[in-house]
Amino acid sequence: MKRMGIATTVGRGLFASMLAGFLGAGIATAQEPVRVGAFLSVTGPAAFLGDPEQKTLELYVEKLNAAGGVLGRKLQLVAYDSAGDAEKARTFARRLIEQDKVDVIVGGSTTGETMAVVPLVEQAGVPFISLAGAVVIIEPVKKWVFKTPHTDRMACEKIFLDMRSRGVGKIALISGAGGFDKSMRAECLKVAAQNKIDIVADETYGAGDADMTAQLTKIRTTPGVQAVLNAGFGQGPAIVTKNFRQIGMTVPLYQSHGVASKEYVKLSGEAAEGVRLPAAALLVAESLADSDPQKKVVVGYKREYEGRFKSEVSTFGGHAYDGLMLAVEAMKRAGSTDKAKVRDALEATHSYMGTAGAVNMSSQDHMGLDLTAFRMLEVRNGDWTLVK
Amino acid sequence: MSAQLAQYLLSGVTIGAIYALVALGFSIIFNASHVINFAQGEFVMIGGMTTVSLTGTGLPVPAAMAAAVLVAALVGLALEKFAVEPARGAPVVTLIIITIGASILLRGLATLVWDKKLHTIAPFSGSTPIEIAGAALLPQSLWVLGVTLAIVLALSWFFGRTLLGKAMLATSNQRVAAQLVGINVRRVLLISFGLSGALGAVAGILITPITLTAWDVGIMLGLKGFAAAVLGGLGSGPGAVLGGLVLGIAETLSAGYLSSAYKDVIAFVLMLAVLFFRPTGILGSRAAERV
Amino acid sequence: MMSRLASPRCGGLLALVAVIAALPLVLSNNYFYEVAILVGLNAIVCVGLNLLIGYAGQISLGHAGFFGLGAYGSAILSARFDWPPLAALAVATIAVALLAYVIGRPILRLRGHYLAMATLGMGVIVSIVAATEDRWTGGPDGMPVPPFKLFGGTLSGEGAWYCVVGSLLVVAVWLTLNLIESPTGRALRALSGSEVAAEVSGIDSARHKVLVFVISAVFASVAGSLFAHYSGFITPSKLTFLHSIELVTMVVFGGMASTYGAVVGAAVLTTLPQLLTVFKDYEMVALGAIMMGTMIFMPKGLVPSIGGLVGTAAGAARARKAVR
């Protein structure tokens, strides 16, 4: 029989008290006025989305409180990390509604997490502003669910319009395995014909794939391809872009709004020259014309975010900004935090200028953006420029 | 058609070399301690991310790379000392959970020490592709293949010709007998973890210019690396290399000619096939079970 | 009479029923009920998995695959083909049992690390297929699942689900305890002690291993189907390698070869992420540290370790009394 050394006993004791400490610390709660709940993918495969979203919400709740709060009350942010997992998102949403008793929810970085939560908010009657992209979130319209980012269908349409203006008719599609990729691919396939675009090749790659030359080679050998659209998100598009140049393809390459960030340009290096994608004006904030109605909002957000966090602004953070501000505006217009009144006020949002564009909601449209909200950008000399 | 095939083969060999390096790391640790180190992929991540952040602070790139390899080796040593050694003799399930817990811990630390974004390192000798048989090969791929070959040769010299290397082999064959002839088994274990850490880091540094790096690149690479190790024969160095190359080529060929959607599944299907029909792998020796 | 109450079968089961019945007194809102229901579902899976890992001495790093197959089976049959949920559940369970039987034989010929890797491979393949075949499964974004309609009524509301899951847990524990005390159970324990010795004394190890594999797969599948209906939505994230690891950790943390340990393990590790939210950015670090710490300092698991401590204290007290 082994004798228990002192070290092992101490180790066990320390460990037990650490466990007790963890459990004890988790039970504390606090009481505060206007509560904004959030569940975001701060860690996990969609951390790219959730991290700037959480930072933005924290920053602006702080700023709003410094300016006196909302309706004379302080704002409190209750944010949980759902790590891209729909079931976790659901449990946290339940927690926000039942335990933390929030007045409004701004969150749901990915479509899967958003859709899992929809039945909960519909049943509990809590206004929910989603930060995810797929069109299925607001189509069909759900009473309590709104969203701030452009839909993937709009991105397809914007890209197809630009392609037609360059005389492109036949294209190849390449997309990844993630929810964003699949959803956008499905939408592009759906609206291609009515936009007079013919998709002659349709390749896919897996999550975390390191090399897409096989798929791109197949595309290169498909006859008639005049442009390539990469409906992707995350790491894949940067690798696709590099592989694209590596095997010497010269037709125009379009990316999705999912990689609208300086990071994508840095990661793809020189290969990104000439790549086009639809994005919110946030990325070219400074180069907008002074008369552009969006300029003030996007420049303001960009300066605040970059000043505080010392890292490039991202359109996803912008969506969170829009979500929070829309909720706050609605509360101000409704004059209360009563959930039904705030919901009605949200639906009546008119000419609200956000980082994504001008928002005009209605009972049939719980997103409120149109195609003009998207700008077509091109990479030139390692930076984003507006395509006139 | 043959230009396409050449492209698939070249890409397959490049990614296969990376799987080979990761698989080598697994094999070395498994040989010494019979532990499957689920945190192997994290060594790859540490190599890439450390290099990126050190270069960002102004350190010249070669120095940053050397430092990154050292950091990964130290992490490997720490893993052995604080996680594996206290649990020596525990059942397989326990050891598996410990190393998986370690990989989760390392990923969590990575998000705190660095961030959650993607990063890259400049390719070692530019990014103008080289034309071979109609296919385009990146110069970085040549680096990957070259360095992997050099490491394999160095390791075979180490294990075959040096006293320490032979001591490590002896420990993996028969631990008690090795102890009886005076080999410090604890030191051998420590060194094997440190060596695997260094190997993983080298792999990470080599492929970051091609595939980018982030806090979570270790997950899939780790799983595939160890599918490659099983394929070639757990515990066999040449097996690890062969397994890695076979896996890489099988992946790109199936993505090219069959379905690109199921590319990831190939690794695991192959691994299962090997486990069902020849569990000791392509190059592993048929082990006789002692009753 | 007192010794009967102290036995795991009677006394333990009564205690479990008492806890389940009394818990609603402290569950003050639907969120707490939801956590309790999730604990219950995980506990059902863990009790079955514990039979495989703790009693039969095998490993499975792919059990989330069975959970997911049950969930998606129920979801697809009831959502896309409009089957009644009970029939969908039955068919999904039978299908999973058959699958487990078919792959059980070749897989369980492997031992130790090789078995771990084979089960891991199977689990990953199932999760990739679920994420890729989006026509059936809705892909990575998942698919909605209709509510559980039963004999004309709908099972809805946390209270009703709590009763269902609670009762099923009691049934699962009762079945498991009976199995352990039966000749099959004794054969299993002989197997995990030494497979060679067991075979020498006439036990058909392959048959018993496959039987336990199938039983644990069935438990996981039923829990999965119920989860799908309760949640109203299912995504492939419940089938991942990480979830399989969570399940194994619950079993080992609670105590291998201890059915109640499996329940306790499920309870602690399901509620832990809810408590760890205080730590925000440090959650992953905390989880990894807990996994490592438990295995290093409490390798036998929570329930046996505590039982051991209590036993040592009682023994010491008795010894002191005897000396006087």
- Check whether residue A200 and residue A238 sit in a common domain: yes
Q: Is A251 helix (H, G, I), strand (E, B) or coil?
A: coil
- Check whether residue A50 and residue A107 sit in a common domain: yes
Closest CA to A275 of A222, A232, A319, A213: A232
Domain B2-277: which topology? Answer: ABC transporter involved in vitamin B12 uptake, BtuC (1.10.3470)
Q: Which domain holds residue A313?
A: 34-150+299-371
% of chain C residues with pLDDT over 70: 97
Q: Any alpha helices (H) in chain B, and if so which ranges?
A: 2-33, 40-56, 61-79, 92-113, 139-161, 163-173, 175-180, 185-211, 217-232, 237-257, 263-277
Residue-level pLDDT at C169:
93
Higher pLDDT, B248 or C195: B248
Chain A residues with CB under 8 Å of B261 CB are 177, 204, 206
Residue-level pLDDT at A24:
43
Q: Which residues pair with A229 in a beta bridge?
A: A173, A254
CA dist B185 and B164 (Å) reads: 11
- Check whether residue A199 and residue A270 sit in a common domain: yes
Chain A residues with CB under 8 Å of C68 CB are none
Chain A residues with CB under 8 Å of B127 CB are 242, 245-246, 269-271
Segment among A248-257, A326-335, A379-388, C214-223 with least mean pLDDT: A379-388
Domain count, chain A: 2
Chain C residues with CB under 8 Å of A116 CB are 142, 231-233, 235
Closest CA to C219 of C243, C247, C261: C247
Residue-level pLDDT at A113:
92
**Is any Cβ of chain B less than 8 angstroms from the Cβ of A312?**
no
Q: Report whether pLDDT(A28) > 50.
A: no
What are the pLDDT digits (tens) for C268-311? Answer: 989 888 887 777 777 788 888 888 888 888 877 787 777 777 77
Q: A212 vs A387, B59, B135, B259, C5, CA distance in Å?
A: 28, 32, 13, 13, 64
Q: What is the mean pLDDT of chain B?
A: 86
**Is any Cβ of chain B less than 8 angstroms from the Cβ of C269?**
no
B118·A211 Cβ contact <8 A: no
CA dist C297 and B109 (Å) reads: 22
Contacts of C53 (CB under 8 A, 6+ apart): B93, C59, C60, C248, C251, C252, C256
- Check whether residue A143 and residue A186 sit in a common domain: no
Residue-level pLDDT at A148:
92
**A305 falls within a domain:** yes
Q: What is the value of ipTM here, to two decimals?
A: 0.85
**Mean pLDDT confidence for B241-251:** 91
Chain C residues with CB under 8 Å of A94 CB are 30-31, 34
Q: Write down which chains contact chain C via at least 3 CB pairs under 8 A.
A: A, B
Structural domain ending residue among the three candidates A244, A279, A314: A279
Q: Report whether pLDDT(A71) > 90.
A: no
- Check whether residue A101 and residue A129 sit in a common domain: yes
Provide the whole-model pTM. 0.86
User: Chain centroid to CA A32: how far?
Assistant: 28
Structural contact between residues A237 and A181, judged by C-beta atoms closer than 8 angstroms:
no
Q: Any alpha helices (H) in chain C, and if so which ranges?
A: 2-6, 13-22, 30-50, 63-79, 85-107, 112-132, 134-137, 158-181, 183-193, 195-200, 205-231, 241-254, 259-276, 283-297, 302-323
Q: Is C49 helix (H, G, I), strand (E, B) or coil?
A: helix
**A261 falls within a domain:** yes
Closest CA to A239 of A195, A202, A207: A207
The b/e string for C242-262 (b: 16+ C-beta within 10 A; e otherwise) is: bbbbbbbbbbbbbbbbbbbbb
C296·B265 Cβ contact <8 A: no
Closest CA to C34 of C220, C165, C171: C165
B contact set with C (CB within 8 A): 30, 34, 36, 83, 86-87, 90, 92-94, 96-98, 100-109, 111-112, 223, 226-227, 230, 234, 261-262, 264-265, 268-269, 271-272, 275-276, 279, 291
Q: What is the mean pLDDT of chain A?
A: 86
**A125 falls within a domain:** yes
- Check whether residue A189 and residue A71 sit in a common domain: no
Segment among C208-212, C223-227, C309-313 with least mean pLDDT: C309-313
Write out residues 221-260 of C within 8 Å (CB-CB) of B: 241, 245, 248-249, 252, 256
Segment among A117-121, B220-224, C199-203, C238-242 with least mean pLDDT: C199-203
What are the pLDDT digits (tens) for B60-102? Answer: 888 999 999 999 999 999 999 988 888 877 888 888 888 989 9
Structural domain ending residue among the three candidates A279, A312, A328: A279
Q: Report whether pLDDT(A177) > 90.
A: no
- Check whether residue A222 and residue A246 sit in a common domain: yes
- Check whether residue A275 and residue A157 sit in a common domain: yes
- Check whether residue A158 and residue A273 sit in a common domain: yes
Position B233 confidence tier, pLDDT thresholds 50, 70, 90: confident
Minimal CA separation from A192 to chain B, in Å = 22
**Mean pLDDT confidence for A327-348:** 90
Residue-level pLDDT at A26:
41
- Check whether residue A233 and residue A311 sit in a common domain: no
C31·A95 Cβ contact <8 A: yes
What are the pLDDT digits (tens) for A35-68? Answer: 999 999 988 778 888 889 999 999 999 999 999 8
Q: Residue C141's closest chain A neighbor by CA?
A: A112
**A68 falls within a domain:** yes
Q: Is A367 helix (H, G, I), strand (E, B) or coil?
A: coil
Residue from the list C30, C139, C278 with its beta carbon closest to the beta carbon of A26: C278
Residue from the list C30, C131, C297 with its beta carbon closest to the beta carbon of A12: C297
CATH number at residue A117: 3.40.50.2300
C298·A87 Cβ contact <8 A: no
CA dist A116 and A133 (Å) reads: 14
Chain C residues with CB under 8 Å of A182 CB are 134, 139-141
Taken in order of first residue, the domains within chain C and their CATH numbers are 2-283 (1.10.3470)
- Check whether residue A143 and residue A60 sit in a common domain: yes
Chain B residues with CB under 8 Å of C112 CB are 92
**Mean pLDDT confidence for C148-157:** 78
Q: Report whether pLDDT(A174) > 90.
A: yes
Neighbour-count burial of C38, counting CB atoms closer than 10 A to its CB (0-12 exposed, 13-18 middle, 19+ buried):
buried
**Mean pLDDT confidence for B103-109:** 91
- Check whether residue A39 and residue A122 sit in a common domain: yes
What are the pLDDT digits (tens) for B147-186? Answer: 988 988 898 888 888 888 888 888 877 878 888 888 888 8
Contacts of C102 (CB under 8 A, 6+ apart): none
Chain B residues with CB under 8 Å of C299 CB are 87, 90, 94
% of chain A residues with pLDDT over 70: 92
**A8 falls within a domain:** no
Q: What is the mean pLDDT of chain C?
A: 86
